[in-house]
Structure 1
Amino acid sequence: MPPSPATARRTDTLALADAQRRDLYFFSLYRVFEAALLALVLFSPAGALIGEPRHPLLGKATTLVYLVAAAALLYWAQRRRALRGQVLVGTTLDILAASLAIHSLPLAAPGIALMLLFNVGAAALILPLRYGLGAGALAGVGVLAEFVWSTLFDADTGRPLAERVMFAVSYLSIAMLTYLLGRQMRESQALAARRGAEVADLAAINELIIRRMRTGVLLVDGEGRIRLANEAALLLLGESEGERDLTRVAPDLARRLRTWLRDGKPDDTPLRFGSEQIEVLPRFARLLAQGDTALVFLDDTSLVSRRAESMTLATLGRFSASLAHEIRNPLAAISYATQLLEESDDINAADRRLLQIIHQQCLRTNGIVESVLGLARRERASAEHVDLAAFARRFVDDYRQTLPPESGSVQVGGEPTPVAAMVDPRHLQQVLTVLVQNALTYGHLPTEPARVTLAVHASTGAPTIDVLDRGPGIPEGARGSLFRPFFTTSEHGTGLGLYIARELCRANEATLDYVSVAGGGSCFRITLPGPHTLLPA
């Protein structure tokens, strides 16, 4: 997607400003060289090669002032301020110094006039056309005024008038020529900068697409070394501690790639990778028609069965949603009738207790219906860049507003530094709500209030959020069934909270796991994908 016109104009303006600053710096450096050359002529024995100056005192004073001013202008150019003003002041100083130097050193007048030609051209290269032509005209007036001065007061101009006129015409011509050349250069540079920004945007989009692909992608050179790999490929091949040799990472895949490069015949037999022996079907494509660098696409065949399972669950979800709506109507009637009966004075204590049980079970059944509806309405993840530390702080601040003091406390552990991740903020909010609510309900000892801590960090390079409590922990026998739907160890639970939380994590390509904590307590760890679009192999 190309950048907007405003972005393109801003890019062009920045590129133009940088180019003009760079040109001004070299222009100022050349001015220092000119002043140093004049000083060499007037203050060293080398000046005898040119001849004696007509006005030694004027020449030396002009040279010293010009040298100091040139150094000051060079310092000013490095301050990156008032670019147009610097060029106008510097060009006026160049013309004045050149006119005085020509008057003092008539034998060196052609050389000084030629050096001024570069100053005029450089000014026209940076300034708009009217200022550039003005600088050329001022330089022409300067050399002609020096000729009149010499004729009136020295009676010896040293050079004919025709030469001065030709220099004046040359100043105007070079100003026009360098302006046109500079405009063409600036337009070309701005176009190159704009195209570079577009290419960078397209590269970022392509990398993001490759990163979000469920198909594993490897870039393998002719020597069998992995140059790039997306997250799906790394998950399929398994962590190899930075190993880049495909032969060591996946020997069977390396052999099949060599066979394909030699014969060009595909093999549709799946390969098994990793400790879980996942079946993967590799496909190959040459990056260049005549090269050995190849793109390797790894298709997880289990995704087909997962898609079929997802379709089944989706159908079941729609059915459950419609069934849940039908259940809620009589359930609401039963709950309302129970509440009316509880208000009657003719109900004895035993019957009132039965009504309370009916009411509690109605509430529990309604909770199950709400969970099923929430699972059926779940939207697809829209991942975006999120600072987990800031998100955790906002979540805790919002949660505390609705948390009764007797329920316990929720806090963010330590001073978390910014940790970036790719996740749907709505889904992350729902997952944290489930985990924190479970921790407040079950994660405390009978005689102590619940204390829940959210810890944000980067575990092995991956953005991670830990939800920790100080409770008795989860029994060993129940850990394997924690995330199964409708599994609960409480008579008041629905058994859908952790299941929905894990499903939401999977929708964001994240993981939700239970981690044992030494010394008591529980920890539910959310490991999210990082913000980098392509991971190094």
Structure 2
Amino acid sequence: MASDQVRGMLRALVIAAAGAGGAVAAMRGLYATALLAALITVWIAALDLVDRGPRRPPAPPPPAPVFPGEEERRRLNAYLDLSPAPLVALDDGRLRVVNRAARRLLGASDLVADPPEGLVAALSETRPGRTVTIDIGQDADVRSFALATGDLALTGRMTRIGALIDIDAELKAAEAAALRDLVQVLSHEIVNALTPIASLAETAVAMLDDPEPALPKIREAIETVARRAASLHRFGESYRTLAKLPLPIPARIPLTGFANDLTALFTTRWPHIAFTADLEEAPAFLLADPDQLTAAIWAVLQNAAEALDATPTPHVTLAIQARVGETRITMTDNGPGIPAENLKDIFRPFFTTKQAGSGIGLALARQIVRGHNGDLTLTHSLAGQTRFESILPSVVAP
């Protein structure tokens, strides 16, 4: 009987923790997957211990008797204390802490005498499978948590279990990682640009000190410095464009005209590349920022065209399709494909394999599409076919 209760409690706790993990994953996929895996591991390990518990008749009582199921409960408590997510229980309107993380957060060993404002109500009103956000703390030390719940029936009485995921901590960790990556990229690009500029400038100064300065060579060095400085300036402007993308201003876009404009632009710029616009399954209209959406799709098409230099019969296809709840824009080319070692970097700002590339095209395109609550992904890349897909939510245009 005790083991059955332990199994029930474990199931409820895992349901609650999984719901919270899903909430955090919905917030741009932070570290909730690792947390969920840890909780599931705890669940399996605890169940295994319960299932393999002693089946033989109990030995004669020791001086300090251990009741049936007590050892399993102790082990369960030890496992639950390893969870970084605070776990709480609502029993007859009273809030109790379940593990060490909850005791540390709420400052109680069992019954929480003074629960944070709104926590009991949120725990009581949030149905299993749903998630809400709640702030816990005082003054400047206020943290946001995702709360998910599950119900547990023990001894004929329902107990509501809740798991709390510290959203602020997850966001700060993600922001720190993003900032670190950005600083590495910027420092790498700036140093790479400044090194030859400094070297050529020193060379030009040294040549001026010659008794008979070689003016043509000095002029060539200075012109090279000017070109490299202009390139560095363009890099800075590209970064500013990426960092200060304005919010989209949605408008009613007739997709036939949208595709025709892109076709005209593409065939004028690359007349030797066959271009096909497939609108057979396209909706009539799309609600989006026309300038931003054009820039995003054009960046992908340009990337495709530049990859087709060595392809004998280059071909690019733009297909727009209506799907349930979404509009899918697919861009396909028959080029050599993207090298496997570059797949994880193609959307990283300033990453490029082109000598004159800025490395912001695909990064900016994805940022634009995500600004429209959609996404841009690489769905296929092999020799002979590379395909990008942009998914935008279908909104009925007025």
TM-score, structure 1 normalization: 0.36
Q: Where is the strand percentage greater, Structure 1 or Structure 2?
A: 2
Q: Structure 2 length as normaliser, TM-score? A: 0.46
More helix by share: 1
